[in-house]
Every structure is written in structure tokens, then in C-alpha cells.
Amino acid sequence: MTRADVAAGLGRLGIAAGETVFFHSSLRSLGHVDGGADAVVDGVADAVGPLGTVAVPTFTLLGRVGPFGSWYDHEQSPSTVGAITETLRRRPGAIRSVHPIHSVAALGRRATALTAGHLLAHGRVSPWCDAAFAWGSPFDLLARWNAWYVLLGVTYNVQTIMHYVEAIVADAVVQRAPPAARGAVVAGIRRWGTPGVWASLDRVRLGEAIQARGAYAVTGIGAATVRAAPFQTVLGHSLDVVLGDPAAWLNPPFREWMGAPPAPRAVLAAYTAPEGVPPLDPPGGGAGVSCAGNVALP
């Protein structure tokens, strides 16, 4: 396996020069790679060229003890989701977004734009503080840009994009509520350390369901199976499946909180529009909860 093999494989999936790619990865799944994790990063960068952007999750999923964010040092906390992601994070020129759990690191033309707003993103309530998948977060931008979403040698279990689906479904319910009722609607959502409702989608089952609809293109790179699709394709199929049959996918407390499901195509159109769905509350206001309180900032 070489970097050229990685680039060629991504090309077979339809990824071209100038595009933005976000990928989950397993180095071990590829077999022996000449150059290791660095060669994989180089291969993805080769696929999108000098005008493209390469992004990876640099999530902090271990050692989360204490008040929210107290475990996270922006410069020193390693990515806990694979050697390739940590290799990219440490690359000269890589930029990491600021979030105690769901940070993203990127290289290339759009790296600054993708990562800069994460710390102050706000307005979409979630269990991981309101910045995780909020308006202006990396996942929000990747969805609006219709970037490529790639599973490089990993299972559907790592599809963090399904957390984004959960976040926008919850936000769509909040957005449609009358202004006077929104506080009560927001209060029902689970927060870090507090009870409440959340969609909690089964990522493996949902991955299999959307793949049955043809969501992902599939190829082999080395010993790995690699799946890829534009963000909006994955979101569209996921929303159609989940909101088309809420009883099969959403837990009873969430369904009761939600009421009638939002129309899946309307949710997709709204949240992937060029400007997305801006938050209802200003930064630091309303129901917003800062992610920065205990974070060692750069």
C-alpha cells in the first residue's frame, strides 16, 4: 500500500481535485502501508490537490472526568479516534477546532474556515454542549458545503454524522415551536450531566439501511473497504429513513417530545442551504451553554 493507492482509491469513489473530504479511518484495516499514517494523509491530500481540504475527527473520547471540558487541553489532548487522525492533527499547518469532545482538524484551503467558529458555535442544544453540532460548527459547514464523507476501513458504528442528524432533528422541533413555548421544548432535551430526551440513533442499523438505498459508493483500498458519499446524500437518506418511520428508529420518550415528525426533505433543505439554519439565540444568550468554561484555550 502506498499514498498513490489511497489517492487512486478515493478517485474511484468520485472524489476530485479541489474538494473537501472528511474521513474516519483505521490504519490497521489497510494492511501494510509504506509510510504508515503519514502516507494515508498524503494520499487523501493528493486526491483533492492543493486547492482541496482534508479534515478528520480529533475527538476526545477517553479520560473525560470532572466538569465539562476540564479534561481538554486544546494543544496537548490527543485524538483518541485513530493513528491517522492524530498524525494529521500534529502536522505542520493543521488547524484544530476547539471543542472538548468533538473537535475536528483540517489541512488545506478551507481549513481555517472549517474550524475557526467551533468554540463559539451555539444554539443547537445537545448532550455535548451547544457548540458540538451547532450552526457554524465543522459538521454544519461540511453539510452546507456538501463535502465528502468517507469511512476508510471502519464500520458504520463510527458514523458521527448520525449525531448531526440527531442534532438537526431536535433543532427542527425547537425551531417550529411558538416563541413562548421554546423554553419548555428546549428544557426537555438531554444535556451533559442532566436527564432528558435524545434521538440516540442506532448508527450500525441506520448505516445498513441507508446503504440498502445506495447511499455510499464502495471500493477497496489495500485490505480495507472504503465507503464515501457527499454529506447531503447521507443526510438525505438518513432523514428519509428515520422521519419516514419514527416508531422504528426513535425511542418513545423522544417521539412523545417531538410530536408529529418534521418533513424530512424540508429539514434537509433548510439545514443544507447556503446559510443553514441560524440559531434562535445570540451567543451566550437564551438556552446557550458555552463549551469554553473549563477549556485551556489556544
Q: Is pLDDT above 90 for 292?
A: no
How much is the average pLDDT of 147-170? 98
The pLDDT of residue 121: 86
If you average pLDDT over residues 170-199, what whole number do you get? 93
Q: How do residues 227-280 score in pLDDT, each as one tens digit? A: 999 999 999 999 999 999 999 999 999 999 999 999 999 999 999 999 999 988
Instruction: Please provide the DSSP assignment of 244-281 as one string.
Output: HSHHHHS-HHHHHHH-SPPPHHHHHHHHTSTT----SS
**Nearest Cα to Cα of residue 82 among 63, 98, 62:** 62
pLDDT digits (tens, 9 = 90+) for 36-95: 999 999 999 999 999 999 999 999 999 998 888 888 899 999 999 999 999 999 999 999
Secondary-structure percent of the chain, ordered helix, strand, coil, rounded to 5: 40, 15, 45
pLDDT of residue 282: 54
Q: What are phi and psi of 180, to 5 degrees?
A: -70, -20
CA atoms within 13 A on the CB side of 139: 25
Residue range 118-125: average pLDDT?
85
Mean pLDDT of all residues in 111-124: 91
Tell how far CA 112 is from the center of its chain: 17
DSSP letters for 132-194: TTSBTSHHHHHHHHT-EEEEES--GGG-THHHHHHHHHHHHHHHHS-GGGHHHHHHTB-BTTB
pLDDT of residue 263: 98
Report the percentage of the chain scoring pLDDT > 70.
94
User: E-assigned strands of 58-109?
Assistant: 95-96, 104-108
Q: What is the pLDDT of residue 122?
A: 82
What's the pTM? 0.95
Higher pLDDT among residues 123 and 77, named by residue = 77
The per-residue pLDDT of the chain, averaged, comes to 93
* Model confidence at 287: pLDDT above 70: no
Residue 144 identity: R
Give me 285's grid cell.
444568550
Residues 193 and 70 sit within 8 Å (Cβ to Cβ): no
Would the pLDDT of 130 be above 70? yes
Roughly how many angstroms between the first and final C-alpha of the chain, as a whole number? 37
The count of other CB atoms within 10 Å of the CB of residue 251 is 15
52 by DSSP, 3-state: which? coil
Q: Nearest Cα to 101, choosing from 297, 296, 291, 298?
A: 291
Q: Which of 5-19, 90-104, 144-158, 275-289 has the least mean pLDDT?
A: 275-289
Amino acid sitting at position 212? A
Q: What strands lie across the sheet with 217-221, from one edge to the other?
A: 95-96, 104-108, 53-57, 20-25, 148-152, 224-230, 217-221
Mean pLDDT, rounded, for 276-285: 72
